[in-house]
Amino acid sequence: MKIIKSGTLNEIDAKEVEVESTFTKGLPSFTIVGLATNSIQESKDRVKSALLTNDFKFPPKKITVNLAPSEIKKGGTHFDLPIALLISLYENKNIKFEDFHIFGELSLNGDINDSSQIFPIILSLVKQNNIKKVLVCKKSAMKISKIPNIEVFCVENLVEAIKFFSTNEKENYKYKQEKYSYKKVLIENKEYFFVNEYILDFKDVKGQEGAKRAALISAAGNHNILFEGSPGCGKSMIVKRLQYIMPPMSIDEILEVAKLQALDLKEPDFKPIRVFRSPHQSSSKASIIGGNNIGEIALANNGVLFFDELPYFSGAILEAMREPLEDYKLLVSRANSKIKFDTKFLFASAMNPCPCGNLLTINNSCRCNELEIKKYKNRLSEPFLDRIDLYIVMNESDIKQKASYSSRQFHNLVINAFIKQKQRGQSELNGKLSDEDILKYCVLNEECKTILDKATMSFNLSFRSVNKILKVSRTIADLQESKSIQKSHLMEALSYRRR
């Protein structure tokens, strides 16, 4: 009995699968067992056609293919190639599949195709140290070659795959490892990549200097931010430009984003630009938190998650956001499984000051009474708002004002602040520091301690709010190239707290 190693997705992570086959006497039949979904059951017809089209005889035996372990549900068309290889080479006792993991969907003429699950499966198995060599088609190899510490071999069709295992010259099929050609910074022998690509530029935003300053701090430290202002003052305009000034990305982060793109049925681009997700307020809880499919908050990991018209999201969604905003992880429990998602995203949001939106305008009068305004704002609970680092109230914009900073200038400031954070030895950006790291990196002098103590008493600040202020102060100090947090940094951080 021969065995070929492959894999399957178990929600967001992958599990190794051993594809094994037996050929016994009896009426000719072809059976696949091991909790295989319809996509795998359909592979029987693809495998038969691919073998017969290329002049291979289908064995007149009772063929049983097992996908082990049998208790895990398996899906995907990438099992076609390993199944076809087991059947085509069953008489060749000298064939050894060694340490190869094999993935590929077969067309009816025997050509090997890529599938959306191959890249995330292989990336997950590499992180688990369960895979060293992989055989795929050329299109798959182009993506997988971005993953370090793995040998990639590629073939075009089933005939080449059979020849690959029949020869000792396997190096001829090896795919060259591709390196990233983007701009990079080297910190403590680790590379971080970025691009100067500003599809949406801050130079298009007229005025709103305070809001743009807050957006810069938010991007530099990965701090959650909420903009409140009248319609048309530039809230969404500023948030949509955050994506292009975010800090550089490590190779692991780039690959994780590519994995999430593949799971979202998009073609991975491997660009060091952080993802931007903006679900509509009418979205269901399952689509944002995660149900049968991966949710928006998991897809936004290492990027930006934007909730526009924040109070109009359902209360159940907003309260469910409290855990991922606090712990940077989300545990989804289902009948037969528990899945943990990383949620280290920058949460950006925008809202009007009242239902009609005119409360802060000069030219238009507000049509809302006090009860309507109170009801509108009470949609957001205090525990939820306590998880916001920066709270900005925006006035009407003046179109006569000129833009002060471009995205390139902001991005350079963010990169410099990022370098300082990493040189201190931080594994996380300031906005995602743990309580232990706050004590280590956000140290205050005596004057600042006195100011913070008075602010805590005056504004009845919670322990979480104090930590948020310390983290924002640290980011402001980094932007101003200060080694320690000064009084001006702390005072500015206090000005961003909601009152």
- Tens of pLDDT, residues 308-324: 999 999 999 999 999 99
Q: How many CB atoms lie within 10 A of CB 159?
A: 16
Residue 402 has pLDDT above 80, yes or no: no
pLDDT at 282: 95
Q: Is the domain 190-403 a CATH 3.40.50.300 member?
A: yes
Residue 334 has pLDDT above 80, yes or no: no
Residue spans of alpha helices (H) in 300-369 = 315-320, 322-327
Under the banding of pLDDT at 50, 70 and 90, the label for residue 335 is low
CA distances for 310 relative to 114, 236, 294, 341, 353, angstroms? 40, 12, 22, 23, 11
Counting Cβ atoms within 10 Å, is residue 431 exposed (0-12), middle (13-18) or buried (19+)?
buried
pLDDT, one tens digit per residue, over 102-159 is 999 999 999 999 999 999 999 999 999 999 999 999 999 999 999 988 999 999 999 9
pLDDT at 362: 84
CB 368 within 8 A of CB 352: no
Q: How far is Cα 147 from Cα 136, in angstroms, rounded to an integer?
A: 14
Q: How far is Cα 260 from Cα 298, in angstroms, rounded to an integer?
A: 8
Q: Which helix (H) or strand (E) holds 65?
A: strand 62-68
Q: Is the domain 3-173 a CATH 3.30.230.10 member?
A: yes
Q: Where are the domains of the chain?
A: 3-173, 190-403
Cite the beta strand spans of 420-490 per DSSP E: none
